[in-house]
């Protein structure tokens, strides 16, 4: 004889399945704007695609003239904007479990009503989890492309950017130049002062190089004490000026070393991208120019194929 609990459980299963079937039908028909919004957001981890979906779905319920989103993710600013703004706005700081996930702003020519503001808050409560996932995905991607010591791009990031820059240079017939910069006699610093001091100097060097280049340029830790600087839309003569500015910046580094401060110099090799050139060949030519600089006594810059 079945006990009462088993009988009740057996009777409840059809009811639960019926409720599940009813919920699925409602969900698949998407009559609910919140359900439709979250369902669409779940299809992508691209933050830009999510924001396009958010703008489209919210505008269907609450008209607005423009939407802007801004957030800093993994040392990079992410900005998204759609539409043309009006004088009235409402702004929301997006947070979940104590973590910040950007600022979302809506603009309109006429004032938002209290009901519309409540509607925004309901829609935002539905987007915060998918938006968090997209932000975290970007952070994970950036971590894989970032040197953990200096915070700049690593060798993998350089390889990806070289491929992109080569393709763009060929397509637009625009100059693009690569500088390889090596800290001179760096092994002596590690041997005499230890790797902690050496790591500190590497971090300082990355900071100095970043400050010495333009916003359109990018710096990477190529390996060990070697850095790479990619200069889009830059010819050899302009790159030589940048290389000399980098050397001057490195010479300004001063680290406490006891009686005398620890200083450092750098050697630079410069190579312009050639039409239809493979990235490996481009790197080899820049490395050859760097070898020339070191052979000439270090603390200088050389261009590939130039006479020392």
In the 8-state DSSP scheme, what is residue 73?
Answer: E
Buried b (16+ CB within 10 A) or exposed e, 20-34: eeeeeeeeeeeeebe
Pairing mode, strands 226-232 and 176-183: antiparallel
> Is residue 121 annotated as a catalytic residue, yes or no?
no
Q: What is the 3-state secondary structure (H, E, C) of 124-143?
A: HHHHHHHHHHHHHHHHHHHH
Q: Both ends of the chain: CA-CA distance in Å?
A: 99
Bridge partners of residue 116, in order along the sequence:
none
**Dist. CA 11–CA 22, nearest whole Å:** 18
Catalytic residue among 57, 161, 210, 225: 225
Contact of 52 with 44, CB cutoff 8 Å: no
- Residue 120: partners with Cβ closer than 8 Å, 6 or more residues away: 58, 62, 90, 92, 106, 112
- Residue 90: partners with Cβ closer than 8 Å, 6 or more residues away: 105, 106, 112, 117, 120
Catalytic residues: 225
């Amino acid at each position: 004889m079945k006990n009462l609990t088993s009988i009740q459980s057996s009777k409840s299963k059809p009811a639960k399945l019926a409720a599940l079937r009813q919920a699925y039908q409602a969900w698949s028909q998407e009559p609910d704007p919140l359900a439709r919004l979250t369902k669409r957001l779940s299809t992508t981890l691209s933050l830009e695609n999510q924001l396009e979906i958010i703008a489209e779905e919210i505008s269907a319920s609450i008209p607005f003239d423009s939407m802007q989103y801004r957030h800093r993710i993994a040392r990079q600013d992410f900005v998204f904007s759609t539409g043309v703004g009006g004088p009235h706005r409402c702004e929301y700081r997006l947070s979940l479990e104590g973590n910040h996930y950007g600022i979302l702003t809506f603009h309109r020519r006429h004032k938002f009503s209290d009901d519309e503001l409540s509607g925004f808050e309901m829609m935002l409560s539905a987007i915060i989890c998918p938006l968090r996932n997209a932000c975290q995905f970007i952070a994970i991607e950036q971590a894989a492309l970032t040197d953990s010591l200096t915070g700049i791009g690593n060798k993998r990031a350089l390889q990806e950017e070289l491929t992109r820059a080569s393709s763009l240079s060929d397509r637009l017939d625009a100059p693009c130049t690569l500088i390889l910069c090596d800290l001179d006699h760096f092994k002596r610093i590690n041997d005499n002062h230890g790797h902690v001091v050496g790591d500190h100097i590497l971090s300082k060097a990355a900071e100095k190089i970043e400050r010495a280049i333009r916003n359109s340029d990018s710096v990477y830790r190529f390996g060990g004490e070697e850095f790479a600087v990619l200069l889009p839309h830059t010819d050899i003569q302009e790159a030589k000026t940048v290389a000399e500015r980098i050397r001057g910046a490195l010479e300004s580094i001063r680290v406490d070393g006891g009686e005398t401060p620890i200083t450092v110099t750098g050697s630079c090799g410069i190579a312009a991208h050639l039409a239809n050139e493979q990235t490996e060949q481009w790197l080899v030519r820049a490395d050859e120019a760097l070898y020339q600089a070191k052979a000439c006594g270090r603390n200088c810059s050389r261009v590939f194929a130039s006479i020392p």
